[in-house]
Amino acid sequence: MTYSRLALKAQAGAGWGVALLGFAIPVSTALDSILTVFVLAAWLIAVPALFRDRRLSQSYARPAPLVLVALALFIALAIACLWSPVSWRGAWSSLSKYLDLLLIPVFAWAAAALAVRKRALTFFIAAIVLNLALSYGSAFQLWESLPGVYSKPHSPIGFRLSVTHNLLVSLAAFLFLLLARELRTTRPRAALLALALALACILNVLLVVIGRTGYVVVAALVLYFSTTVAGGRRSVLVAAMLMTTLFASAYFVSYHFATRAQDVASDLAQWKPGAGDETSVGQRLGYYRTTLEVIRDHPLTGVGTGGFAQAYAQKVRGTPARATENAHNDYLMIAAQAGILALGLLVALYAVAWREARRLATRFERDLLRGLVLTLAIAGVFNSALMDHVEGLFFAWGAGLLCAGRREATS
């Protein structure tokens, strides 16, 4: 067997690995870690052949701008380790949370074949449907009589925590809406099924699983979808009215939704800077305010990767406010650690990914990539999403998977 043939077999195996990640990411951290290592190992076996065989090097897309920006962001965070006040081990621990950024070209290589990308999305859909079944089953206490199945009626999530669950299900709702749009003329019954699944996802986010970030993300995705169907102000206005009606209905139908919405108003009203507020919204406002002070003191270099917790603790020392290791905001967290240049690279990462969507082969892939960007960009306002294992890996997987169709769009 020649080395080129070995490289092709490694790519085929990696294709199955990246497809199975579509199921693993919403379901199991252990399984997605194993599959990620498998895909990376296959890539390391095959990558020398990419330089030796021109046909192999041309067989997959290179989302070069996106890869370069992701690499630049990681390098900026790595350089910031040099002035971190913590040990090298602590700095590496913080830096390693962003390693997923380096996997984008690996996943793009593994997903070069259109069949792999279709298979990956099919596995992702299967995982979402399974999560919905567990979530709705727990909400309606359907699983209590089944041995070995843990029912969570007070926290009816699937396999992931509520914030992560809602982000994945919100993007799945957008995916199903895109599928309904694609199938409406050729397979109307399948389009109706996709619409039903989209509605099930939206209702799950709004009525079943607690998570205000999900409320914002699903609203943004539905509004964006309206612009992809007909475009213009009229479709956006109709979508805005629809979401307003849906949110108003959720407020009166769902106790959890109403409580979470009311909490926002009350938390904002009672919040006072530096008062050590224990409410969810108050804590986040305190995190953002103090982190901005950290950034103000170190605007160019940041405090060093891994040094955020120490810098934050110094700021709140002697006040009722709690210390934290996480700013709960991707943009502030990166700026505090590596400076405003790194913050600019994070914004550029999403902007370049959005622009790269124009070069994809199909309208479906273009819109889905932009939906992924919206999901992570909005989630990053309320959480340190890229630092989290599932969200960071999901972005790298989705961006690599969809950008693998880039060459087809430009050929």
- Tally Cβ neighbours within 10 Å of residue 147: 5
Phi, then psi, of 272 in degrees rounded to 5: -130, 130
Percent residues over pLDDT 90 in the chain: 51
Kindly state the tokens that stand for 224: 């964006």
Contact 247, 239 (CB under 8 A): no
Q: Tell me the whole-structure pTM to 2 decimals.
A: 0.89
C-alpha 221/C-alpha 407 separation (Å) is 27
- pLDDT at position 371 is 96
Please give the Cα distance from 226 to 26 (Å, whole number): 26
Q: Lowest-confidence range among 5-14, 127-136, 239-248, 385-394?
A: 239-248
For the stretch 63-108, pLDDT in tens is: 678 999 999 999 999 999 999 999 999 999 999 999 999 999 999 9
SS3 category, 140: coil
Mean pLDDT of the chain: 84
| Residue 354 CB neighbour total at 10 angstroms | 17
* Cβ neighbours, 10 Å, residue 371: 26
**Sign, Cα dihedral of 277, 279, 285, 291:** positive
At 145-193, the pLDDT tens digits run 555 555 565 567 788 888 999 999 999 999 999 999 999 888 999 999 9
Residue that is written with structure tokens 């996709």 in the block: 194
State yes or no: pLDDT of 406 exceeds 50.
Answer: yes
Tell how far CA 132 is from the center of its chain.
18
- The conformation of residue 327, written as its DSSP 8-state character, comes to -
**CB-based contact 405:362 (threshold 8 Å):** yes
pLDDT of residue 305: 94
What ranges do the domains of the chain cover? 3-410
Helix (H) or strand (E) holding 197: helix 188-203
Mean pLDDT of 43-60: 65
Average pLDDT over residues 257-272: 62
Q: Is the distance from CB of 287 to CB of 325 less than 8 angstroms?
A: no
Tell me how far apart the alpha carbons of residues 24 and 18 are, in angstroms, rounded to a whole number.
10
